[in-house]
Amino acid sequence: MAEEPCQCSDCQRFYKQHDRLIREFPTFKQQQELNWASIQSFRTLCNKVTDELQRELSERESNELTCIEKKHISDLEITEAIDELENVNAHLYSIEVLMERIFETKISNHIESKFKEIANELAPDPLNMDRLILNRLFHQTPDSPDKKNIN
């Protein structure tokens, strides 16, 4: 018997996001670009925040009389965040190096059509009319013992 996938709110959010990314980026090339952009934007943002925190920390060191209201984030909190973000940045950099290799792969139009076809099976448009009709029919079926577990 196959195990039911977890239905907690985090997992459901993940399934939804996962399917949306397949539906909206159904080709190999689109997935390459999406993942590249996603790693780059994550890295840009983490780098920028790290720089900003470092700047703030050194500003505090050079001016110990910083007005107390400005210190709503403690020095320790900043130092710990910088350490963690630097780790994340190092990991993101490694992922980027691997992604570059994936990025070099080219796929023919025939295979791209296959990608689209499979994407459509994996993550059909939830607002697609056929699907809505099918869902409605399904939910009207009386005495279906497993109906709330399937969708």
Residues that bind Zn ion (CB under 5 A): 6, 8, 11
CB of 15 to Zn ion, least distance (A): 10
Phi/psi at 88 (nearest 5 deg)?
A: -60, -45
Q: Is the CB of 15 or the CB of 138 nearer to Zn ion? A: 15
Q: Is the CB of 12 or the CB of 144 nearer to Zn ion? A: 12
Supply 124's token pair.
């059909």
Q: Is the CB of 1 or the CB of 8 nearer to Zn ion? A: 8
CB of 139 to Zn ion, least distance (A): 24
CA 5 to the chain's CA centroid: 19
CA distances from 125 to 10, 19, 20, 25, 121 (A): 21, 9, 9, 12, 9
Q: Is the CB of 14 or the CB of 93 nearer to Zn ion? A: 14
Of 109, 121, 112, nearest to 31 by C-alpha is: 112
Answer whether 147's CB lies under 8 Å from 139's CB. yes
CB of 149 to Zn ion, least distance (A): 15
CB of 138 to Zn ion, least distance (A): 24
Question: Rounded to whole angstroms, how far apart are CA atoms 5 and 59?
Answer: 49
